[in-house]
Structure 1
Amino acid sequence: MNLILWRHAEAEDHASSDLARQLTPRGRKQAQGIAKWLKPRVGDDAIFLASPATRTIQTAEAFGDRYRVVDALAPGNGAQAVLDATGWPDGIGETVVVIGHQPTLGRVAALLMTGHEAEWSIKKSGVWWFQSRTRGSDGQTVLRAVITPDLL
């Protein structure tokens, strides 16, 4: 399974509620840049899961309308909720892209890399790409890529 963690792009600071915050013009450019980078790298069967927050949905829409909104990815939910929603390590699909929030995505990255949750930071519209694999009888996690909009 490929698990791609994609933090939402830059959003406005204030709105009627946290879930209603929208992307800024800069955020829309960030999301479009990452979507352009992802498109040739993920197959047509990739599953996109987005938090119910407006800013994550707008980030996902940079890739197209192939996303599902999943309440378990809402701000404040834990790392294990993200992994459960994706079916990690076997997966609900060969490639699952999660569009979510800090600090949760950073905690997922730390858990996958070290086996323990920690306060790791993922930049806005940043992507961390993990792969699960089996070697012999051992399950392994491989970090395939980390990319941020400023590197594109």
Structure 2
Amino acid sequence: MHLILWRHAEAEDIAASDLARQLTTRGRKQAQNVARWLRARLPDDALILASPAARTIQTAEALTDQYRVVRELAPDASVEQVLAAVGWPEGLSSTVVVIGHQPTLGEVAARLLSGGTDSRSWAVKKAGVLWLASRDRNGGGEAVLHAAITPDLV
């Protein structure tokens, strides 16, 4: 399984609620640039999952109109909720893109890449992507990092 963790692009600081925060003009450009990079690399059957927050939905829409909003990916999601939502390590699809939030995405990456020994949150820049894959190694499963991209690099 390929698991792509994509943090939402830059959003406004103030709105009626946290879930209502919209992307800024800069955030829309970030989302479009990263989406272009992803589109060139994603398989046709990639499953796109987004948090119910407006900013993650807008980030997803820069990539495709074929995405699912998943309540378990909301800003207060736990690592366990994210991993259950994507079906890690087998996956709901061979490639799953999660468009979500910090610190959760950084916590997911830390847990998977450390083999479960790191409970901290790794920093993920706004609109940044961490592309992980599960694999069997010596009879056990592990995660490997395929790519780490920021909007400044695409």
Question: How far, CA to CA, are the matches of 1:92 and 1:122 in structure 2?
Answer: 24
Residue in structure 2 matching 1:148, options 147, 150, 153: 150
What is the match of residue 85 of structure 2?
Answer: 85
Deviations 1:91-119 (A, max 9, x none): 00000000000010010010011113212
What is the match of residue 135 of structure 1?
Answer: 137
What is the match of residue 61 of structure 2?
Answer: 61
Question: How far, CA to CA, are the matches of 1:68 and 1:18 in structure 2?
Answer: 20
Deviation at 1:151, TM superposition (A): 1.0
Describe the SS at the equivalent of 2:64: coil
What is the match of residue 8 of structure 2?
Answer: 8
Q: One-letter code of the match for 1:60?
A: A
What is the match of residue 100 of structure 1?
Answer: 100
Deviations 1:101-143 (A, max 9, x none): 0010010010011113212110000000000011342212110
Deviation at 1:46, TM superposition (A): 0.1
Question: How far, CA to CA, are the matches of 2:121 and 2:38 in structure 1?
Answer: 26
Deviation at 1:33, TM superposition (A): 0.5
Describe the SS at the equivalent of 1:3: strand
Runs of 4 or more above 6 Å deviation: none
- Contact 2:135/2:143 (<8 A) preserved: yes
- 1:109-128 equivalence runs, <5 A: 109-114=109-114, 115=116, 116-128=118-130
**Structure 2: stretches of 5+ with no match in the other structure:** none
Describe the SS at the equivalent of 2:148: strand
| Identity rate, percent | 64
Deviation at 1:87, TM superposition (A): 0.2
Question: How far, CA to CA, are the matches of 1:63 and 1:7 in structure 2?
Answer: 13
Deviations 1:31-80 (A, max 9, x none): 00000000111111000000000000000000111110000000111111
1:23 aligned to 2:23? yes
Describe the SS at the equivalent of 2:136: strand
Q: One-letter code of the match for 1:96?
A: V
RMSD, matched Cα: 0.8
Q: One-letter code of the match for 2:100?
A: G
Q: One-letter code of the match for 1:77?
A: A
**Structure 1: stretches of 5+ with no match in the other structure:** none
Matched length? 152
